[in-house]
Amino acid sequence: MEFALLNGEIIDRSEAKVDVEDRGYQFGDGVYEVIRIYNGKMFTIDEHLERFVKSAESIGITIPFTSLQLSEMLEELLIKNNLETGNIYMQVTRGIAPRNHVFPTGNVVPTLVAYTIKGVRPLESLKSGVKAILTEDIRWLRCDIKSLNLLGNLLAKQKASEQGCFEAIQHRGDDVTEGSSSNIFIVKNGMVITHESNNLILKGITKDVILELCIKNNIQVQERTFSLAELEEAEEVFLSSTTSEVMPVIEIEGKKIRAGVPGPITQKLQGLFEKEIEKQCGLLVNKVY
Ligand code: PMP
């Protein structure tokens, strides 16, 4: 049997049902996290919980559990579901109330749900890289909130998929922001560059791990807005996310980057990232490097 966490209780997943008047279901009025599991252990769990609480607070939702309680409940869920490699999906909504745009008053409790998804590392793509398209960033101006409202992201990803690509790299006019579900990095004159973490992008946990790895390993790094022209002329391009880790981008809009092979700095960071996983979660069986 598969289990899910619903409002603090671990229950049969098939019994974890949402009311039609849950505000997450009706308005996307909530926030979420995806946490990667390696060797049955949660990677960067503290950072994910911190962002979860921050996202919720920024839309006025108070999670009815402490971070410690959350991490203990997730741990129990992992064990019950016997998850070795995969993800935990967790979301909190403003709760169940008669449909009204205005926030409900009174004792409406947030709905908190978490469940597990089995999934291996995308080793083939990590080795050979992925293709991307470009698309205008049509999303709202609070992309720093990990909101359940993902229509802009979905439309971008769908467009990429229809063109046989893995990711859509979004830009506001001339400025590159982020992927539909990832952060974007370029290498220019040996320097790693990625958009600063402001309201226009999600402050990726993977992005922050990569920035730290760069600093610790004397790889020059800069957080700043970069242009479409800089993306086009980049020596290397890669994207990052919880599920994609450090993923080389080898082609954008049909144009190859570095003749279509992952670059040396990208590969170095992939190796360092694997070491970081091993530090937190134990030895990996299948590795890129
Ligand atoms: N930006 C967006 C829009 C995303 O959906 C994601 C994936 N969660 C990321 C960036 C990367 O964030 P993280 O490294 O925390 O998964």
Beta carbons of 242 and 179 less than 8 angstroms apart: no
User: How many structural domains compose the chain?
Assistant: 2
- Verify that 128 and 229 share a domain, yes or no: yes
* C-alpha span between 281 and 283 (Å, rounded): 7
- Verify that 34 and 160 share a domain, yes or no: no
Residue tagged 């946990």 (tokens): 205
- Verify that 104 and 148 share a domain, yes or no: no
Q: How far is the CA of 115 from the centre of ligand 1 (A)?
A: 19
Would the CB of 167 count as within 6 Å of ligand 1? Answer: no
Torsions phi, psi for 214 (to 5 deg)? -60, -50
pLDDT at res. 25: 98
Q: How many CB atoms lie within 10 A of CB 230?
A: 15
pLDDT in tens, 74-121: 999 999 999 999 999 999 999 999 999 999 998 899 999 999 999 999
Using 70 as the pLDDT threshold, list the residues of the chain that sit under it: none
Give the nearest ligand 1 atom to 243 CA: 16
Helix (H, G, I), strand (E, B) or coil at 221: strand
Considering 118, 143, 169, which residue would you say is the last residue of a domain? 118
- Verify that 32 and 144 share a domain, yes or no: no
Would the CB of 244 count as within 6 Å of ligand 1? Answer: no
- Verify that 104 and 243 share a domain, yes or no: no
| Residue 289 belongs to some domain of the structure | no
Full residue range of the structural domain in which residue 83 is found: 3-118
pLDDT at res. 169: 99
- Verify that 224 and 137 share a domain, yes or no: yes
Mutate to test the pocket of ligand 1, among 181, 196, 201, 212 (most ligand atoms within 8 A of CB): 181
- Tokens, residue 190: 């040996």
* C-alpha span between 232 and 230 (Å, rounded): 5
Helix (H, G, I), strand (E, B) or coil at 118: strand
pTM of the model: 0.98
pLDDT at res. 176: 99
